[in-house]
Amino acid sequence: RVEQAKGRLLPGDVSVEVTRNYGETAAEKASELILHLAIATLSVTALIWLVLGWREALVVLVAVPVTLALTLFVYYALGYTLNRITLFALIFSIGILVDDAIVVVENIERHHREKKGQSFLRTAVEAVDEVGNPTILATFTVIAAILPMAFVSGLMGPYMRPIPVGASVAMLASLAVAFIVTPYLGYRLLKGHVVHAAAAAAAAAGGKPDFNTRFGTGYGRLMRRLMDNG
């Protein structure tokens, strides 16, 4: 644009030099936040992998980008640009939007482990139905706590508005994904598979499931010490 303006808007004896390009610095900040967004998603997925298994982690890994994509679409529809504030809202939302998918997939896995002779489709439906109302209530509770921030007046209101709007939209999207995408992926990936082999073997032998994993053993020791000294 500067080159086009020379000779027309800028006199020929005037030289122009770019001292600071805010576009480059903004692009660097946005790229850095996108990297942190990816790291946060992979960290959550790795945690689910360690606790539940790789199949459950894969379900969450798909659910998070789908939720973020829906949120970005709403951002686009509302006229928000991709900047540091909107990206921060997405990173902030990951910690809460992943809860719905984790709760649903964990309950599907538990029902599948405990109801070995039942149709997996019925098991998945019962698992989602069991945690449906608490998940809806928890989602709208978070929205009720965050959304009022969008109505703040003054100079900070429009500046910070993408955070409550984006977080609320992300929560609603995560609820829809948890009830639609997560059960479908759980049905496809978990059908016929049990993560806890020890629990499956004990159940097949007619005994109670054995949850003496390394995590469970360590947690039990810690809690027993706290309860004995309490």
> How high is the mean pLDDT of the chain?
78
Average pLDDT over residues 148-152: 85
pLDDT band of 48, cuts 50, 70, 90 = confident
Instruction: Give the pLDDT score at 166.
Output: 83
Q: Which residue has the higher pLDDT, 196 or 220?
A: 220
**Nearest-angstrom CA–CA distance, 67 and 37:** 13
Integer angstrom CA distances of residue 86 from 16, 28, 40, 81, 114: 33, 15, 16, 7, 42
Contact predicate 80/162, CB 8 Å:
yes
187 within 8 A of 124, measured Cβ to Cβ: yes
Distance of alpha carbon 136 from alpha carbon 96, whole angstroms: 13
DSSP 1-56: -HHHHBTTTB-TT--------HHHHHHHHHHHHHHHHHHHHHHHHHHHHHHT-HHH
- Chain centroid to CA 150: how far? 21
What pLDDT is stored for residue 56 in this prediction? Answer: 77
Q: Rounded to whole angstroms, how far apart are CA atoms 159 and 21?
A: 22
Cα(24)–Cα(14) distance, rounded to whole angstroms?
25
Tell me the mean pLDDT in the region 196-204. 47
At 24, is the pLDDT very low, low, confident or very high (cuts 50, 70, 90)? confident
Cα end-to-end span (Å), the chain: 72
Radius of gyration of the chain (CA): 24
pLDDT class of 230 with cuts at 50, 70, 90: low
Say what the pLDDT of residue 115 is: 76
Residue 213: phi and psi, rounded to 5, are -85, 175
225 backbone dihedrals φ, ψ, rounded to 5°: -65, -40
Tell whether pTM > 0.75: no
Q: Using CA atoms, how far apart are residues 59 and 48, in angstroms rounded to an integer?
A: 10
Residues facing residue 6 across a β-bridge: 10
